[in-house]
Each structure stands twice: as structure tokens, then as C-alpha cells.
Amino acid sequence: MPSKNKKDTRVTSTCCYCGVGCGVLINKERNGSITVEGNKDYPVNKGMLCSKGMNLHYTVNDKSDRLLYPQMRYNKNMPLQRVSWDDALNRTAAVFKTFINKYGPDSVAFYASGQCLTEEYYVINKLIKGFIGSNNIDTNSRLCMSSAVVGYKMALGEDCVPVCYDDIELADLFYVTGANPAWCHPILWRRVEAHKAANPDVKIIVVDPRVTDTCALADLHLQINPGTDVTLNHAIGRVLIENGDIDLDFITNHAEGFEQYSAIVFKRTIAEAAEICGVTESDIRLAALYISEAKGFITMWTMGLNQSAIGVNKNLSLINLNLITGHIGKPGSGPLSLTGQPNAMGGREVGGLSNLMPAHRDLNNPVHREEVQKFWGGNAINPKPGLTATEMFEALHDGRLKAIWIICTNPLTSLPNARLAEEVLKKANYVVVQDISNKPETLQYADVILPAAAWAEKEGTMTNSERRISYLHKAVDAPGEALPDAEIICRFARKMGFNGFDYQKPADIYAEHVRLTAKTNIDISGLNYDIIKEHGSVQWPYKKKRYVKDSSRLFINRQFYTPTQKACIHAVPDELTSENTDSNYPFVLTTGRIRDQWHTMSKTAKVNKLNQHYKQAFVEIHPNDANGLGLTDGDIAVIKSRRGEVRVKVHISTEIKQGVIFLPMHWGKILGSDLNRANNLTNDLIDPVSKEPDFKFCAVSITKYTKP
């Protein structure tokens, strides 16, 4: 039960799981533990929490798996030994300096996480880009939202979600594609559910090769063949144009590229598109009809579009539907990408990806590079983009990269072609792992392990999917010698001999970050911790001395961030570039999440309740496919791709399309076996622009396991 004196024992925070960013109240109990409840005053969730959020306290209270002190080994044959912080950081600084002097700054890299707080992202980015002289910082956001980032920049001129969550209650059509928000963004979806319940005319279209829980609300489910999203979106666009259901005023005055778009969508007949997508022509026309009737039209998407070899094209083809109908910059309308991680957006604000700069500045722009260099007072910013997530592991493989520092992420479960990634890490020269838990497989290949403070054990800020910045209070001390991630990085930077990392507190880092955003599109130079605490949360932009009340919705003046101030309608090709199926690998594998687990389960698997939903990994297969293969429910299936193998229980379901199988992405090595790990199968193919991997499409075979 919560303590009685709430005033002294309760602090506000934000859920550290998905990008919905629900407000949480943390109750500090007399025995040092915490409990959590939804914050009724928080505009995002109004007191609601999903199964993961309402069990957050278990992950903090249970210290059984926590890393408590730094560990190190002097060579690969030695066991890890407990050392002091000074020893661990001195040696790491010496190793980094040696590599940098001998092989150049690009021989080292940081691989971090969309779960890091903004302040943590800021100092990592400042260290590598401003002082070490390399852009080799990437995060697991590369596996998550990078296709959407490129899509927004190409279409709207800026990496920005133009709508706010309050637009949900103003919309009358939701086009949900490549997403299962009923499971993966549950609180946002509850708002859609409540809105539809109160307004039965509200329509929902769901596009997904699987019948998910999200489909329970759908007026139309387009169960497309995997990877055919662009063809579908183009076909809907064609019907809208044919029927005159487009916004000619918006297209003429506020957009460009319509003629090329029109030419490309008319290349295929609706019948051809229906055949390619595996849906009926009449359903495509019905989707277009719903859009034509909508006064408020929101497109929602996440990994089903982003995690693709053509992820950027998929994003652009979807945003085009908002643009040709003029459904942007007005209440209840616009694209709303659903961020997978809690602070992927905050990370991008500080420039925390290998191709970004602080405050969404352009790495290619010498003026921007000089601005940042002068501000930081460090070395010249390298104009060459750094290595992205998968490229880092390629560079470790071929020896270009000598040292990698992995922070708050578990790449050996989450990267595609995970067996290869594991082989690479095993042979890497120098691996630093900074984490809260002793569970991630990555730790077994670490030369140095650094214990980090967890959620509720440190303070800082995050930005959710609607540009809402919130402040997370510290509620309890970290166990053992664990330190906040930002402090670890700053201590290391000082060991490297760099100035500018002697912050007294996280508020100082935040103050520096907001100053650097001045006069940019994401200007939050008027913001500080006190203002965020006073308002509870604020959305960007938030300019100095002027709270932009209506920053909740962008582009209300129909002026975009492109050089012409017009939105760009891109005529993208619809060809799929994923690997081919053939007689050896005849099925398409798609991977995804289940309701109660988060990422690689390093936190959620600590909670018994959350493990009850699905207790083990499984493969979902259509009954017709299962019959043909002699598979029955509960059998063990062997699934093979051109890269690896998985053995999991069979779950026969009519909810998956024939010819497609589904594996959850959460499970990694269990009891030494990696045969639950879906990413043994996935491939390294990436989108050529966003560099996001093709997790949603790989060719596999499936057979019944028989004991040798």
C-alpha cells in the first residue's frame, strides 16, 4: 500500500517502456521499495497504465539481477574481476586513446539506446562527435524509427510528428498500418477505443498480414501480403485521384510533386494492385471511400512499415495519403508514427545518431558543424557520417572498429542475423558494456562491465511520440556502486582529458542542450527543469520567454520546413527489395512483439505476471500450412533461413496469412541455447537511406522437429 504522507513520499515520472510516454506516480515506501500508479493529471494517459507500466515497480524493487560494481579483465583469457570505477575508466580511456592514436577516431564507437534519457544521449553524442572526432554513435532507435525519421524529413522538411494525442478525439478515421497498438501502444489505443465507443461513426482501417487484437475494432482489415504496403497505399491514392477526392487547394498551394506521384500511382490498375497485395479490389476502394468521407484522418504506423528494406518508401507512400487529401496541419488530421521506445525522440533532438547533429542540424552543412564546434569548444566535427547499428558490427567483423561501448541495449538478441553479431562480438578487440542487469548475453563478451542506475534511480528528461517533454524524478538510490549513465560518460570524458564534462547535476546538461536548440525548428531554448515540473510536461517547440501555447499541433499555417515551405509528395517505386522465397525457403517470416514483454525481456521477464501471457517463444502458422507440413499445435518446429535456425513450439492460428509465419522477437539465449532467438533467422538487409533492417520479411523453411 502507498505511504500515508504522499506529499513527501510521492514523485512524478514517465513510464520507461514505449513511446506513448504515460505519466506515472512513484510512491516511496518506508522499507525503501516503491509502488507505481498512473498519474491522473497527466494529459497522455489520465491515470491509465498498461500491463507493463503498472508493474514497473517490480523491476526496480527486485535487485537480484543488478550489476553492483565495475568489473574488468586485462585479456580475453582472464575472468572478469571486481575493480574500482577509477580502474575501469582509466584503463578504458587508455585503450581508447591507443586505438584513436593508432587507427584514428573512427576505430571506436558507442552503441546506445532509445531508453537513455536526453541528458545521457547528449553527453555521449558530445563526447564522440565533439571531442573524439568521430560520428560513430548509433542507438537501437536505428532498428525502430529511422525510416520514419527519413520519411518525415523528406516529406515535411523536418523530423517531426505533426499531430498531438489530443487529435485522436478529433479524428473520425484512423488508418493503422504495420502496427498493433492494442498490444504495443495500449494506452494510446484505449483512447482510440473510447473515442470510437462514444462516436460509432468513427472508422478504423487496419492494414496487417496478421489478424491482431487491433483488428477487433476495425471496420476494414486489409490483410495484405508482407511488404506490399507501397502498392496498397498507391492504389488507394489512385482511387482518391480518380474520384476527385483530393484537396486540390492544398496540393496546388502547399505541396509539390503531385504530377510525378499521379503518374506513378496510375502505373498499376487497382486490379493489379489488389492481386499483388492479396486483398480485394472492392476493399481498396472501400478504404479510399472512408478516407474521402473523413473530416479528420490520422495515419498511424510503426515497425511494420519502418523495419523494411523499403521502409522509407513505405513511410512516404503513407504520408502521401495525408498530403493529397490535405489532412495535415488541422485538428484531428495528420501522420502519427508510434515510437517504439520511450525517448527515441529525445535522442534525436540531441543528434544522437550517426548521421545527425544536435537540434536536428545537418551534418552535411559546414555552418551547422562550425556552430556546434564553437558551442562545445571541442574539435572540428567530422563531416563523414558514422557507422549505423548494423554497420558497427560489420566494422567489428572486418577490423575497422577496434572498440565498442554498448549502453542500455542488448544487440545479441535485437540485431538481425544475431548469430553473426555474436561471433563478431566474441572476437572484438575491446567491448565495454554499461547496463543495469547481469542478464544480457552481451555481458559474456565484455572486457569491462559498468553498472548503471535504472529508471527511478536517476533524474532526467524524455520526449514521447507527440513531442512531449517530461521530467523523471529520482525516487530511490541505485544499488551498490551503480551510477547514472550520464555521470559514467562524463567521468570517462574527463579521464580522456576532455574539458566540458564537469557538470554538477543533470539540470546543467539539460541547460546546455536547450541553449544549443535556439533558433532551430525544435527550439526549446526557453525550457528548464523548473518549467517542465511546473507544467507537468511541455511539447516542443518552446522558445525563450514565450511558451508557444499551440505547439501541440504543427503546420497549422500550412508552411512546412522544406526550402519552399511546401510539403513534398514523393513518387516512390513500389518494388520490394527483400530476399526472395524459393523452394528451399518458401515461407515469409515476420517478427514482432507480444503484449506483456518489452524488447529483449531484460526487465519485463522479472515480473511473473507478465510472463503468464506467453511463457515461451512460439511460431504462429496458418492451419492450411500446418496441415501440409504435418504440424499440430504444440509440436516443436524447426525454422531455418539462409542464416540460422530456431526451434520453438507451434501455435496454429487462422490469424496469420497463409504462406507467412510469425515469431516474437523478445527471446534470446535461454539456458545457453539460442534456439528461441528469432533474430537467428532475420537478415542484414537494410533500407539504403534509413539503414533500418528488414526485420519484417525473410525467407524461411519450417518442418516438424524429430529427435535424432
State the nearest-atom distance from the C-beta of 560 to ligand SF4, in Å.
Answer: 29
How many Å apart are CA 273 and CA 269, to the nearest integer?
Answer: 6
Binding residues for ligand SF4 restricted to 179-208, rule: CB under 6 A: 185-187
Q: Which of 6, 85, 79 is nearest to 40 (CA)?
A: 6
Q: Say if residue 541 is preceded by a cis peptide, omega within 30 of 0.
A: yes
Check residue 396 for interaction with ligand SF4 (CB under 6 A). no
Chain-centroid distance, C-alpha 451: 24
Q: Helix count (H) and strand count (E) of the chain?
A: 24, 26
Nearer to ligand SF4, 35 or 45 (CB): 45
Q: Contacting ligand SF4 (CB under 6 A), which of 15, 224, 660, 702?
A: 15
In the sheet with 203-207, reading across from the earlier edge strand, the strands are 220-222, 203-207, 173-177, 297-301, 334-337
> Judged by CB, which is closer to ligand SF4: 187, or 287?
187
- Spatial strand order of the sheet with 460-463 comes to 460-463, 468-472, 538-539
Closest CB 17 distance from ligand SF4, rounded Å: 3
Whole-number minimum distance, CB 185 to ligand SF4, in Å? Answer: 6
What's the closest the beta carbon of residue 645 comes to ligand SF4, in angstroms?
A: 32
> Distance between CA 631 and CA 652 in Å, rounded?
9
What's the 3-state SS for 22-54?
CEEEEEECCCCCEEEEECCCCCCCCCCCCCCHH
Q: How far is the CB of 607 from ligand SF4 (least distance, A)?
A: 13
Check residue 587 for interaction with ligand SF4 (CB under 6 A). Answer: no
Sequence-ordered list of residues with C-beta below 8 angstroms from that of 404, at least 6 positions apart, any chain = 108, 109, 110, 111, 392, 396, 425, 428, 430, 431, 432
We find the least distance from the C-beta atom of residue 608 to ligand SF4, in angstroms, to be 18
Q: Which residues inside 58-117 make contact with ligand SF4, applying CB under 6 A?
A: none
Using the minimum distance from each CB to ligand SF4, give the nearer residue, 24 or 571. 24
Handedness of CA 481, 485, 487, 493 (dihedral sign): positive
Closest distance of CB 208 from ligand SF4, Å:
19
Decide if residue 18 touches ligand SF4 (CB under 6 A): yes
Judged by CB under 6 A, which of 17, 96, 99, 376 binds ligand SF4? 17
Rounded CA separation 475/467 (Å):
25
Within positions 43 to 62, which residues make up the interface with ligand SF4, using CB under 6 A? 45, 49-50, 52-53
Q: Cα(327)–Cα(336) distance, rounded to whole angstroms?
A: 12
Among the residue ranges 15-23, 86-94, 377-385, 685-693, the one whose residues contact ligand SF4 (CB under 6 A): 15-23
Identify whether the C-beta of residue 187 lies closer than 8 Å to the C-beta of residue 22.
Answer: yes
Q: Give the CB-nearest residue to ligand SF4.
A: 53
Four-CA torsion 131, 134, 137, 142, nearest 10 degrees: 150
Q: Which is nearer to ligand SF4, 54 or 396 (CB)?
A: 54
> 10: which 3 cell numbers?
510521492
396 alpha carbon, distance to own chain's centre? 24
Choose, by CB under 6 A, the member of 10, 11, 22, 396 that binds ligand SF4.
22
Q: How far is the CB of 190 from ligand SF4 (least distance, A)?
A: 9
If one asks whether residue 23 binds ligand SF4 (CB under 6 A), the answer comes out as no
- Is 21 a binding residue for ligand SF4 by CB under 6 A? The answer is yes
CB of 514 to ligand SF4, least distance (A): 24
Size of the site for ligand SF4 (CB under 6 A): 14
CA–CA distance, 224 with 176 (Å, rounded to integer): 13
Q: Which is nearer to ligand SF4, 20 or 324 (CB)?
A: 20
**Subset of 438-457 contacting ligand SF4 (CB under 6 A):** none
Binding region for ligand SF4 (CB under 6 A): 15, 17-18, 20-22, 45, 49-50, 52-53, 185-187
